[in-house]
Amino acid sequence: MRRITLGFGTLLLMLGFVIYQLGLLVTFRSTEFQGQLPSFLRGILPTGLMGVAMQLGGGITAIVGLIVCICGAVSSYNKQILRQLEDIIATRSEERAVSMLRCRFCGAELEEQAIFCPVCNKSQR
């Protein structure tokens, strides 16, 4: 899920950048581009206006892609921190559980519910 978000954001960012650059080209070299445009577009839009529209659309697409990327990165970063915290908490409680199962006198490991230490035979109650 995280990879899909990051990939999608990167794709949008690159696509927007390319469209923006094309828009710049169309704006500044409109006469050269006019011949390469599909015929159905040539009649509808003046190339200068289309270049500006492409710059706008490309810019917005790139910004949306960047935001998607940042959101994906931030959420994955948060998840990593959360996982590390969970690990720390789990380790701490494990340590506590282990320390509770040791003999109060000699420190030998005890079985759960043991009344006497198997090493020094002292009562644990």
Is residue 114 a contact point for Zn ion (CB under 5 A)?
A: no
In angstroms, what is the minimal distance from the CB of 95 to Zn ion?
Answer: 20
Is residue 110 a contact point for Zn ion (CB under 5 A)?
A: no
Nearer to Zn ion among residue 82 and residue 120 (C-beta): 120
Q: What is the 3-state secondary structure (H, E, C) of the chain?
A: CHHHHHHHHHHHHHHHHHHHHHHHHHHHCHHHHHCCCCHHHHHHCCHHHHHHHHHHHHHHHHHHHHHHHHHHHHHHHHHHHHHHHHHHHHHHHHHHHHHHCECCCCCCECCCCCCECCCCCCECC
In angstroms, what is the minimal distance from the CB of 93 to Zn ion?
Answer: 24
Q: Choose one: 13-21, 32-40, 78-86, 111-119; the region binding Zn ion (CB under 5 A).
A: 111-119
